[in-house]
Amino acid sequence: MIAVDFFCGAGGLTRGLLNSGVSVDLGIDSDDRCRETYVRNNPSVSFLAVDVRDVQYQQIRQYLGNIDCNELLFAGCAPCQPFSQQRKRSGKPGVGTLLGCFSEFVQEVLPGQVFIENVPGITRVSGYSTYRRFIRTLEDCGYEYDEGVVDAKSYGVPQNRRRYILIAMRGVTPSLPPKVCGPGLLPFRTVRETIRQYPRIRAGQQHSSIANHVAADISEINMERLRHTPQNGGDRRAWPSHLVLACHSSDYNGHSDVYGRMWWDKPAPALTGRCHSISNGRYGHPSQNRAISLREAASLQTFEGDYIFYGSNKHIALQIGNAVPVKLAEHVGRHLLALRNGASASGTSRKVAARPSG
């Protein structure tokens, strides 16, 4: 099976698919700043810096050779900001337009496998949305598909990260990959298991020998706030009154995760593109007075320690936070290979469609 990773970013999906045994021939992303991270860590894969709205399939085809379309996987994990609960307004073209373009590629090429990943809100857009048009395209093109909201922690990712995923196939009845962690299965992985090996550093410090083990600098007032935040899951509700932000005054109880610390023995909260900042979520280190480092964030996204990120710290945080967790992608890849090769897989397709006759 050979894959094209649309919207590949830093390569979380690509790396997971490669680990599973799926060959990835091409990654496509409009942000050329991801190129160095992607290419250096995935040297066997070509990187095409182009907006999918401006690319023709002939440009993609040259990277694939004469592949049987049944063995082709199109994976589309479009940027999810327009549907994120943390971004209610979207004044520019977003995932809807991108998913529409991806749908056109699927319709033109008819790859044997299609995989998409996004935030759950993609399915809740009112009206005849791009998502619903995409589903109709799959049905019209003879795909069977299964879809649902999964939590990455069920697949060995030490993070509470709920995502919508869809697997569509031609000639095979698909299912979602079975969970591997949870009640009656393996225990969920925790923050402690994932980042405890990294040596102590201070806020604003870069470790001398561990790549990307750098923590953002913190202002004096925020450092004082962090010192008053209890270790191992504490939050701003423990602060003395003189440290409380104006927006949190008058007994305001919302958004207690902001400026909070992670728990050692639980999965981390969902990481975003600002996961290196204590003011943007529960991204404080469980016991050190700093935010988690970029290396620790990458580990919570299940990138191995030798997967090095390049660019400014701000952009590296975006690369990490936007990535598909490697372990989730690996389980999807293995499951797709098992399905295509005829191995038994748990679950059944909830939505079955055949190409209309005539």
Query: What CATH number has the domain bearing residue 150?
Result: 3.40.50.150
Confirm whether 301 is domain-assigned. no
Residue 169 domain flag: yes
| Residue-level pLDDT at 350 | 41
Q: Which amino acid is at 145?
A: Y
Tell whether the model's pLDDT for residue 227 goes beyond 60. Answer: yes
> Does the residue 220 lie in any domain?
no
Cα angle 82, 13, 84 (rounded to 5 degrees) comes to 15
pLDDT at 120 > cutoff 70:
yes
Domain span at 15: 2-184+325-340
Confidence band of 121 (pLDDT split at 50, 70, 90): confident
Q: What's the average model confidence in pLDDT over 325-343?
A: 94
pLDDT at 103 over 70: yes
Q: Does residue 194 form part of some domain?
A: no
Question: Does any domain span residue 191?
Answer: no
What pLDDT, on the 0 to 100 scale, is given for residue 91? 40
The amino acid occupying position 52 is V
Residue 20 lies in a domain: yes
- Give the per-residue pLDDT at 358: 32
- Return the SS3 of 343: coil
Q: Extract the runs of DSSP E, i.e. beta strands, from 44-143.
A: 46-49, 72-76, 113-118
Half-sphere exposure of 279 (CA within 13 A, CB side): 12
Is 333 inside a domain boundary? Answer: yes
What is the mean predicted confidence (pLDDT) over 193-215?
98
Nearest C-alpha neighbor of 294 from the set 53, 307, 336: 307
Residues 204-233: what's their mean pLDDT?
Answer: 97
pLDDT band at 354; cut points 50, 70, 90: very low
Write down the pLDDT at residue 253: 64
Has residue 334 got a pLDDT over 60? Answer: yes
pTM of the predicted structure, to 2 decimals: 0.90
Residue 144 has pLDDT above 90, yes or no: yes
Evaluate whether 298 touches 226 at the Cβ level (below 8 Å). Answer: no
Specify the range with the lowest mean pLDDT, choosing from 14-28, 38-52, 92-106. 92-106
pLDDT of 352 reads 41
Task: Give the pLDDT of residue 123.
Answer: 81
Q: How confident is the model at residue 93 (pLDDT cuts 50, 70, 90)?
A: very low
Q: How many domains does the chain have?
A: 1
Catalytic positions, written as ranges? 80
Phi, psi of 199 (to 5 degrees): -65, 160
In a domain, 103, yes or no: yes
Which is nearest to 306 in space by CA: 23, 37, 44, 47? Answer: 37
67-83 confidence digits (pLDDT tens): 899 999 999 887 754 44
**Mean pLDDT in residue range 313-329:** 97
Residue range 197-212: average pLDDT? 98
| Confidence band, pLDDT 50/70/90 cuts, at residue 252 | low
Average pLDDT in the chain: 89
